[in-house]
Amino acid sequence: MKDFLLKPDPTDARLTQRISGVDQNGEAMETSVVVERPLTLFLNSREIVTMMTIGDYPEYLAVGYLINQNMLRPADKILGVDYDDEIDVVVVRTDRETDFEDKLRKKTLTSGCAQGTAFGDLMEKFEEVRLPGDAVLKTSWLYALTRTVNTTPSLYLEAGAIHGCVLAEEDRPLLYMEDVGRHNAIDKIAGYMAMHDIAPGNKIFYTTGRLTSEMVIKTVQMGIPILVSRSGFTVWGVELARQAGLTLIGRARGHRFIALSGDERIVYDADPASVPEESRKSRRKASVDETAA
């Protein structure tokens, strides 16, 4: 299997710190703790938002945020993305004015953690998207994909308190992004796809977080037909997935999974009995954080 195009680097000293404390026995210990820092996003000359992020890939995060919030449209040409790490500011420059002023007047708070704000017309593009009906998900791909993600070194395993998202094609993970908010991890992937012209129609999106309305909306807006999570669902997330024709799979662990939408895309080509149970050891450092995913 080919390696990821991008994947987490848990050895990056900027992303975690060792902090001392005591354990349940009162004994001194140290643990890795994720660093979060503010990133202020400008679209041309206007300040849009300040988000909390781990700080890797700010350019992809900025572009993906603007795309997923419908503040950048396909007709908008990006002239440049400039990041200043001294003042934690990223500026996205386009060739013409956008319609973001109207969008800033209406906001809807979503269930995403950290900076989980979406705009009042979030559903506008969602209603227009037509996901490809010929996309398929083989269960052999799903089992291989979850096994690879679960055993790939990551901040999720190193320190917890973080969400991960993966873009895959068949059983090959392409992009693995992490952040303190799952929406940030999603937006990083959306930004990379836009800046590198990656087509979404035959892709699979995997997340460690729960399958909420926001997660479904962003996946559909990105044009990806299959969404998988190791966590559970919300009712509105399921309803929106069915409305859009999105294949929605949750609680994907070891040989187990549940599909609540779009099961017609699933090809059962692997015997679940031949797939080992997920190793507790592989996820032990993140198990506590997942309960709040």
Residue 108 has pLDDT above 70, yes or no: no
User: What is the reported pLDDT for 2?
Assistant: 61
pLDDT of 289 strictly over 50: no
Give me the pLDDT at residue 275, please: 87
CA separation, residue 215 to residues 23, 65, 234, 237, 245 (Å): 35, 13, 10, 8, 14
Query: Which of 238, 235, 236 has the alpha carbon at shortest distance from 247?
Result: 238
Distance CA 199, CA 148 (A): 22
The C-alpha atoms of residue 154 and residue 169 are separated, in whole angstroms, by: 20
Q: What is the pTM of this model?
A: 0.86
Checking if the pLDDT of 105 tops 80, the result is no
pLDDT reading at 73 higher than 90 = no
Q: Which domains does the chain have, with CATH numbers?
A: 137-290 (3.40.140.10)
143-160 mean pLDDT: 86
Statement: residue 229 has pLDDT above 50: yes
